């Protein structure tokens, strides 16, 4: 009897976790666009510091790096949602026709931002700027291949 209760609980949890939070494709598109918009806003502020157009503030930079590291994990599930390859989106069809290539770049994006977040906590401005440069280069590469401008 106990095994049946445990198995039932596991199945219930697994079903709940795998269910999509999106009611329709437009919701998923809006979700991923919102995440990327927040990433861009934070990334832009960080770029202003790196370029010297804004005073360097290691604490603020690190906070933004933590934000975008977490935000970078969000869009992937929305790209996997059926029907999100069309609609009001700048995503190129190559995302879905070359999912493996896109997944590699998305994973690198997430890894680079996690590294940036870690390095920024150490307080070394030069190392932080180097890590930012790596992440920025990868962002641009993905935009070139997978986003209409």
pLDDT digits (tens, 9 = 90+) for 112-124: 999 999 999 999 9
Contact 29, 88 (CB under 8 A): yes
Average pLDDT over residues 85-90: 93
Long-range contacts of 3-8 (CB under 8 A, 24+ apart): none
CA 144 to chain centre: 16
CB contact burial 61-78 (16+ within 10 A = b; e otherwise): bbbbbbbbbbbbeebbeb
Contact 109, 139 (CB under 8 A): yes
Q: Residue 139 and residue 43: Cα distance in Å, rounded? A: 10
Residue 18 predicted with pLDDT over 80: no
Q: What is the pTM of this model?
A: 0.84
3-state SS assignment for residue 91: strand
Average pLDDT over residues 30-54: 97
CA 120, 76, 25: angle at the middle one, nearest 5?
A: 140
Summarize pLDDT for 55-71 with one digit per residue, the tens. 999 999 999 999 999 99
pLDDT at 138: 87
pLDDT band (50, 70, 90) for residue 3: low
pLDDT band (50, 70, 90) for residue 109: very high
Residue 73 predicted with pLDDT over 70: yes
């Amino acid at each position: 009897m106990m095994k049946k209760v445990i198995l039932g609980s596991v199945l219930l949890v697994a079903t709940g976790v795998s269910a999509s939070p999106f009611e329709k494709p437009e919701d998923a598109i809006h979700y991923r666009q919102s995440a990327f918009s927040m990433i861009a806003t934070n990334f832009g502020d960080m770029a202003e510091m790196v370029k010297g157009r804004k005073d360097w503030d290691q604490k603020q930079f690190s906070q933004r790096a933590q934000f975008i590291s977490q935000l970078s994990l969000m869009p992937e599930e929305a790209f996997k949602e059926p029907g999100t390859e069309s609609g009001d989106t700048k995503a190129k069809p190559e995302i879905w026709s070359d999912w493996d290539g896109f997944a590699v770049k998305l994973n690198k994006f997430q890894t680079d931002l996690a590294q940036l977040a870690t390095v920024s906590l150490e307080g070394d401005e030069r190392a932080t700027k180097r890590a930012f440069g790596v992440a920025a280069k990868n962002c641009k590469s993905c935009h070139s291949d997978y986003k209409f401008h």
